[in-house]
Structure formats: structure tokens, C-alpha cells
Amino acid sequence: MNKIDNYFRLKFPELELNYGLINSDKKNTLTYVCDEKYIDIVNKNKNIIGVITTREFADKLASYCYITTDPVFDFWSLYNLISNKNLNNSRSKSSLSETSEISQFSCIAPYNVEIGKNTVIEPNVTIHSGVKIGDNCIIRSGSVLGFDGFEHKRTSQGILSVKHDGIVIVKDRVEIGSLNSIAKGFSWQDTVIENDCKLDSLVHVAHASVIGERCFITASVEISGSVRIGHDCWIGPGAKIINGVSIGNSTFVGIGAVVTKSFASNLTIAGYPAKILSKL
């Protein structure tokens, strides 16, 4: 595919290689390091076998290294190549159930969309390629599903915009309110909304986030990238959850809370930054 990919495939001819981030849980992962603070994390992750990095850090890493002056540019450029190849190889005609009710004023991509039985798509909904919607769902007017989220990298060769390789999975009996925006998955992780979730209007779900079953997400909530929300949670109006945070099952997030760290299950949290008010 390119010289970096070829380098690692020659090093590991017998292995099925995966590209991923430093916390990858996939075996035979190739990643990148551009900051010394990540070296210990990489060395402790037994799944990582190869690293794109600078000469400065190569001697401190336990894995095979490809030396470059800009690991960020080289890794994410390779990621874009792989993503585009996979997307081009996986196009299939969109499948819309005959029992679904789809407005003639909606816009649905002609490929890689699945809409299940008895699902309602209201007017002015846009569904991009790479979206799977289950049975008995409602997608209300003005919502957009499956766009590339916000991911740009500063590199020595300018700003590099990163392609999104994942999809959006909306499971059964989900209601998505008006003017929601739900981004595609990213960095080998899909965006998932589990069974029986209810999202109010003006909710933003960023790339690769997962919302557990039976959650209520009220108006104007912002869920940043790679967030994990457990089952049976209630997220209050205007709450913001920063990227990478996890919230346990049956947790209540108060109005306007700003969640900057992970919390366990069965809690009431609120404030800026959010703190535990009580245990349920």
C-alpha cells in the first residue's frame, strides 16, 4: 500500500496486522508515538508489535520501529489510505424495509444504509452511507446520521483531515429527536446507540461513542468522541461529556453538568466539573 505498510508486512509476513491507537486491544497492532509520555503505555501494551516514531524515541520502545520525522502525518495518511480502500471495497446497495415509513423529503445514501422494519424517517432527515438502523425506530425531522466527525491533525505538512472508517449503528426501538447530529465511527470503533434509547432534540453524538440500552438523553446534550455511557442512564439538558469518558449504569447526570472524568454506576452527578452528589 505504501512504504511504511510494506516495511511492517516484510517484518511480520506471517501475521495479520492491525493499525490502531496506543490503547488498542487488537493483537498485532501497529501504532505511532510522537510524545515521550506515551512510551510506557505502548511498552506495556502487549498487542502492539510495531511503532511509527522519531529517532528520538525509537531506542526507548520495545517494539519494531519505523523511523520518520513526522509520525503523526505518516500514521494518519496511512490510516486514510486504508479507510478509503476499505470503504471502496465494501459498497452495497442500501436496504430499506418495505414496512418502514420514509418521507419523500428525506435524503438517504444509495449505498451502505440499512433501515429495519416499521421504522419512521421523518422529512428533512439526512442519512449518509454507513448507517444501520434497526426495527421500530423513529428518526425525527432535521437529524443527520453518519457524517465524518471532527478529526484534524496538525502536521509538518499542514493540517491533515482524517477519514472516518466506522459506521453508525442504531439498534431497535430507538427514538432520535429533531436536529440531532450523530457522527460515524472512528479509529476502528463504531458509533452505537443501543436498544430503547430516547434522544431529545439538538443532541450531538460524536464519533465512536457508545450509548447503552434504555438511556434518556435530553435536549442540547453534547457527547464527545469515544464516550461510553452505560445502561439506564439519564443525561440532563445541556450536559456536556468530554471525549474518552465512561459513565456507569443507572447514573443520573444533572442539568448543565460538565463531565470531565469517568464515573461508576448508580450515582447522581452534577456541576462544573461534575461531582458525585449521591449514590443511588
Instruction: Report helix, strand or coil for 275.
Output: strand
Residue 53 contacts residue 33 (beta carbons within 8 Å): yes
* Bridge pairing between strands 216-217 and 234-235: parallel
Q: What share of the chain is helix, strand, coil (3-state, %, to 5)?
A: 15, 35, 50
Four-CA torsion 105, 108, 109, 113, nearest 10 degrees: -170
Supply 39's cell numbers: 512510551
Nearest alpha-carbon partner for 256 in 242, 272, 233? 272
Active-site amino acid positions: 207
- For residues 180-194, one letter each, b for 16 or more C-beta atoms within 10 angstroms of the residue's C-beta and e for the rest, the string is bbbbbbbbbbbbbbb
For 122, list phi and psi in degrees, rounded to 5: -80, 170
Q: How many angstroms separate the CA atoms of 207 and 137, rounded?
A: 21
